[in-house]
Amino acid sequence: MLKKEETIIILDFGSQYTQLIARRVRESKVYCEILPFNADPDSFKDKNLKGIILSGGPSNVFDEGAPICDKRVFDLNVPILGICYGLQLLAFLFGGKVERSKSREYGKAIIKIEEHKDLFRGFKRKLQVWMSHGDFVSKLPRGYRKLASSENIPFAAVKNPKKKIFGVQFHPEVAHTQNGIKIIQNFLYDICECHGEWTPKSFIDSTVKEIKSRVGKEKVVLGLSGGVDSSVCAVLVNKALGRQLSCIFVDNGLLRKNEAQQVKEAFKDFDMNIVFVDASEKFLSRLKGIIDPEEKRRIIGRTFIEVFEEEANKIGEVKFLAQGTLYPDVIESTSFKGPSATIKTHHNVGGLPAEMNLQLIEPLRELFKDEVRRIGKELKLPNNILGRHPFPGPGLAVRILGEITKERLDILKEADDIFIQELKSSKYYQKVWQAFCVLLPVQSVGVMGDERTYENVVALRAVTSLDGMTADWAHLPYGLVGKISNRIINEVKGINRVVYDISSKPPATIEWE
């Protein structure tokens, strides 16, 4: 980001809602970053810092080892909002008193607002909020005063008017708090005096300038999969560099039906330098006889690296690798659990080796998935790319349980294509997070045309989710599931039974392998 971008820093104390706070700030057109609770305040100095939010968290402030931020945070002369644990921390650090509740308060509560300005400008006297705490502030520090209370706690919201420090015991970021987004916006606009200028267009403009400045006249390579992240990344970098960017699309033979052709069609109007490589025979020959899912992944990863390197070397001297790392990936490695240098292999292009000696360009690393889609829309990417369901790096290899053969791949591709066709025609495709077929390593007895059959079983999997971290099985209409099953059995030779997976995550995972 440009250094002049208005920035809100969110210090993460381990709340399950921290990313939701960031989403609410971003939705209000203000840029924000999530940092671990122990972040060095000196790291904020180069930013146009407008305010700080202290997240909630599962700890008790008086417990040994409880997360406590550097007190220099409070000397930065910017407004601060403490949420739940963040409020308790404010009281604890500045001479107030925090006590354990007789019973944990979790769920809806009514607060009575006593001061209708600042945080609560435009609110009525009573407000339904969402509580989630086992402790409460029983005595305020000097300089603080009450803004709201509830039946169970004396200080549901407080402020220090001199230092512009505010705290709420409830969670304004969750949907269960009525008009909670207005509380956050009152903090952003009225208290922090933000202007709300962070938009897809402003992001694109500033990012294009940064990429041009950093890369100069050097060459950049990017692994294009056709998924949302790599596609948006490719178009954004192409907007900055044009023919200096070379995109490599590797067809490993494990893609969905007609996928390579669909990707070619999607990018035909973008004047991009895309190299399409058909390496399907190489991948399938190396996967012959392999059953273990982790071994499948290792083989696919190594082969991808080999093919990618071969093509990258043909381009000439390349100094940069662009990839579509997103903000949740970054947060995972620098979270409440502590800073970490670990980068998961699926976050980069197949786990490219260090000896390639390429500098990373990750223009989307500040964005959530929904923001990436908005950037893609601004860049005029087609809906069939932006609306695509997530697809695993190893492709259909992890949706074929057991050995991978061309025959089994063809069976799965046909079944999966029917499933997706019917979801789209029934308008359910965009209602689910992810949907796909899994070819099982079992055969079952069936009857077709008065003849006994002994053929494959395919499982349908469709889930609803916000971020893929947790998921519930999608409650598709029986009629739709029946139509899909009927079509697959009638049209796909080699399948005589269809089952529907009704497992949630956890305890199951979304993918089967």
Residues with catalytic annotation?
Answer: 84, 171, 173
* Pairing of the two strands 145-150 and 97-113: antiparallel
**Cβ atoms within 10 Å of 456's Cβ, excluding its own:** 21
* Pairing of the two strands 6-12 and 220-223: unpaired
With CA atoms as reference, report the closest residue to 132 among 109, 162, 107.
107
Distances (CA, A) of 22 to 3, 16, 34, 40, 324: 19, 12, 7, 19, 20
With CA atoms as reference, report the closest residue to 322 among 354, 359, 351, 355.
359
Task: Kindly tell me the sign of the dihedral angle through the C-alpha atoms of 43, 44, 45, 46.
Answer: positive
Report the first-to-last Cα separation within the chain, whole angstroms.
37
Alpha helices in 242-292 (DSSP H): 259-266, 280-286
Q: Which amino acid is at 151?
A: E
Between CA 392 and CA 510 the distance in angstroms is 11
* Pairing of the two strands 165-168 and 157-160: antiparallel
Task: Kindly tell me the sign of the dihedral angle through the C-alpha atoms of 287, 288, 290, 291.
Answer: positive
Alpha helices in 359-477 (DSSP H): 369-378, 383-386, 406-425
* Pairing of the two strands 245-251 and 157-160: unpaired
Distances (CA, A) of 500 to 34, 399, 487: 39, 14, 15
Between CA 510 and CA 464 the distance in angstroms is 10
Instruction: For 330-372, give the DSSP string.
Output: HHHHEETTEE-----GGGSSS---GGG--EEE-TTTT--HHHH
Instruction: For 117-180, give the DSSP string.
Output: SGGGTT--SEEEEEEEEEEEEEEPPTT-EEEEEESS-S-SEEEETTTTEEEESS-TTSTTSTTH
Between CA 51 and CA 20 the distance in angstroms is 17
Contact 194, 188 (CB under 8 A): yes
Residue 431 structure tokens: 């209602």
- Angle (CA) 311-315-320 rounded to 5° is 95
Q: Which amino acid is at 11?
A: L
* Pairing of the two strands 97-113 and 126-139: antiparallel
